[in-house]
Structures are given as C-alpha cells and as structure tokens.
Amino acid sequence: MSDEGKEQVNGAPAVHYRGTIDHATATLGMTAETKHGLADLREKLGEDVPVYADVWVDGKGRAVQVRLSCFGGMKAMTTMTLSDFGTSVEAEAPSADLVVPMTAGEDVLPA
C-alpha cells in the first residue's frame, strides 16, 4: 500500500492510501454463481482484472472514505464516504420496482 498524500474528505484532512487486492480478496462475499461468471469473464479476457483499493484515514485513525475500482476489459468503481461516527443510521429499502438484479461481471465490486 502506498501513501498518496493528504487530501480533504468532507472538509477534513485525511491521508489517502492506495494498493491492489488479489482475485481471492476481491471476490470475498460473492455468491458461487457470481464467482463462476467472473471466472468465465477472466478466462475470456485472458488476464486477471486488477482491483485497486483506496482508503482515506483521518487523524483519529478512522477510515472516512473507501473506494474499490477495476479497469480491465470493463470499468467499475464503488466509493463509500463515512461520516457522523457514533450516530445511528436509518435506511429504507428501495421499492421493488427500483431493484435491478446484477449479473456476473457487473458486480465485480460487492456492496
């Protein structure tokens, strides 16, 4: 993992770190069906798809932002920004008409 320097996240200073993760780590939490589809995709591409992991850490050692991205025959990026530490979180599930199933290759970066 490399230190990419200081940046602002939500108006506060944070240190940005970047590294790569291997295929086994990138597929943790994926269903067997999704892993199989991804294996087919890797075979078609003839290469491993590099997955980059970025994390921004504040002065208290807390991850305030994380990002996974890959760019190998396809492009996918997921970023999550964290704030209001120690407060309750409320979330509502989307209505069924807004839910779209994902197929292998589209969900390389699990939620």
Mean pLDDT by 10 residues, the chain (111 residues): 91 94 79 79 72 93 91 76 90 86 52 46
For residue 5, the model assigns a pLDDT of 92
For residue 103, the model assigns a pLDDT of 57
Is the pTM higher than 0.75?
Answer: no
CA pair distance 9, 58, nearest whole angstrom:
9
Residue 8 domain-assigned (yes or no):
yes
Number of domains in the chain: 1
Residue 91 domain-assigned (yes or no):
no
For residue 68, the model assigns a pLDDT of 86
For residue 15, the model assigns a pLDDT of 97
Three-state secondary structure readout of 13-63: EEEEEEEEECHHHHCCCCCHHHHHHHHHHHHHHCCCCCEEEEEEECCCCCE
Residue 11 domain-assigned (yes or no):
yes
Give the dihedral of Cα atoms 100, 104, 109, 111; nearest 10 deg.
40
For residue 107, the model assigns a pLDDT of 46
Residue 108 domain-assigned (yes or no):
no
Residue 9 domain-assigned (yes or no):
yes
Residue 56 domain-assigned (yes or no):
yes
Residue 23 domain-assigned (yes or no):
yes
Q: Which domain holds residue 26?
A: 2-83
Residue 44 domain-assigned (yes or no):
yes
